Structure formats: structure tokens, C-alpha cells
Amino acid sequence: MRRTLPAGIINYHPQLIETGAIAETSLSLLERLHLRPDADSWQRFVDLYGPLLSGWLRRLGVRPQDAEDLVQEVLSVVVRELPGFEHNRRPGAFRAWLRSSLLNRLRAFWRARRGRPAAPGGGEADSDLERLEDSEARLSRLWDEQHDRHVLRRLLELLEPEFEPATWRAFRLLVLEGRSTAAVAAELGLSANAVRIAKSRVLSRLRRESAGLVD
């Protein structure tokens, strides 16, 4: 069973993706899926986005048993349409595209049931869909924030097995827990330079894997 990261990671995402940090030679997850998709890359995408989509569908009033079917439909749309997706360097282009895919499938779901369901907490789900579609609305901005936090937190969980335990522990203590370089070096019996290298390696891998998804 994969260990979960400390909840504090959600507070660090602005520091994890820095301007110009995506200039890497290896392909990001989005690039792999766009240019040369393989089963492992698609599985990583499903592991990454399934929980986020499921959570938002339940938030929008979909029953858990229906939410899982809708998640599969959204992912099927992504598989079919991603080759035609163009990021064109607009900030948040992918999360906006994914949000549109989610909204389209959810509208079709409600139409098929010939009714406008009550949204959690009162009101109608149609109103929530309109607010989620409006890029200036608070609900839409919440999608953006939760998307980026979820993607970075979940990617770190998925990337952890790629690193030696000492490298990962140095990164976790330094970046996620906010310890000083000197304190981490002393606790782990490493040099300060080794701790900084560990941080750089993990962040570089995270930036490369997440490029295009959160920027």
C-alpha cells in the first residue's frame, strides 16, 4: 500500500512549479500521452485524475455509484480527444479543457435523466454547472486551485518509488516539512550539499512530469 504524503503538501504548490522550470529534455506525462501514449502513461493519468474527477462529481450532486461511471466516461473522452488538444501555452489550458470535458459529460448525464437535480446544500445543480463553466466564478477558481494542489500532491505520491529512501526523506523534511538544510543534514547524517541535491532531483522530476498539467 502506497504511503500518503503529509497534508501540508497542498500549501507548497506555488513553490514547486517555478517559471521556466519545465525546460527539460524528458517528456512530461502530458507530452507522452499526446505524442506517444503507452499503457503505463495512461495508467498514471487514471491514477492521477480519477480521484479528482470523482470528488467533483459527488460535489456536484452525482451519487457515488453514478460518479464512477461518469469518471470512466470522462477518461474515455480524454483518451479519444487528447491527440487533438493544443496547449498553446495559455496558463491553465489543460485544466480548463478537462473541466469542459467533465461539464459536457455531466450535462449529458442529467439530460438523460430528464430532470434538473437538486444540488447539495440547496438550489439546483444547473446553477453549479454554470458557475463552474464561468472562469471568473468562485467555483471555477476553486476547481483551478484544487486541481493544481491535487495533481502535485498525487504526482509526488506516484513519483516517490523512483527515488532512494534517503533522497526522498531529505526532500520531505526540507520541502514538505520546512526544516532547515542544516537540520535535515544533521538528522540524516548527510552533507548540506547532499540535502540540496536531493531536493533538486525530486523537484526537477516533479516539474518535468507535471509540465502542461498545472501551468
Q: What number is the average pLDDT over the span 172-199?
A: 96
149 pLDDT above the threshold of 50: yes
3 pLDDT above the threshold of 60: no
DSSP annotation of 163 reads S
Kindly state the helix (H) or strand (E) to which residue 121 belongs, with its residue range.
Answer: none
Average pLDDT of the chain to the nearest whole number:
82
Do residues 62 and 102 touch, judged by C-beta distance below 8 A? no
Q: The whole model's pTM is what?
A: 0.78
Q: Give the model's confidence band at 112: pLDDT under 50 very low, under 70 low, under 90 confident, else very high.
A: confident
21 pLDDT above the threshold of 60: no
DSSP annotation of 172 reads I
CA-wise closest residue to 135 among 185, 107, 89, 95: 95
Hey, what's the cell of 43?
495508467
d(CA 49, CA 147): 9
- When mean pLDDT is compared across 13-27, 120-134, 146-160, the lowest value belongs to 13-27
Q: Give the model's confidence band at 126: pLDDT under 50 very low, under 70 low, under 90 confident, else very high.
A: low
- Return the percentage of the chain with pLDDT > 70, whole number: 82
d(CA 171, CA 191): 14
103 Rama sector, left if φ>0, alpha if ψ -120 to 50, beta otherwise: alpha
Q: What number is the average pLDDT over the span 185-194?
A: 97
**Other C-beta atoms within 10 Å of 172: how many?**
20
b/e map 34-68, b = 16+ CB within 10 Å: beeeeeebbebbbebbbebbbebbebbbbeeeebe
Residue with the larger pLDDT of the pair 184 and 129: 184
pLDDT the model gives residue 172: 96
List of residues 6+ apart from 5 with CB closer than 8 A:
153, 156, 157, 160, 172, 176
DSSP annotation of 84 reads G
Q: Mind listing the pLDDT tens digit for each residue in 34-88?
A: 888 888 999 999 999 999 999 999 988 898 889 999 999 999 888 888 878 887 7
Residue 29 main-chain phi, psi, to 5 deg: -60, -45
Do residues 129 and 106 touch, judged by C-beta distance below 8 A? yes
- Return the percentage of the chain with pLDDT > 90, whole number: 52
Sign of CA dihedral 209, 7, 171, 157: negative
Q: What single-letter amino acid sits at 109? A: F
Beta bridge pairs of residue 118: 124
pLDDT the model gives residue 83: 79
DSSP annotation of 28 reads P
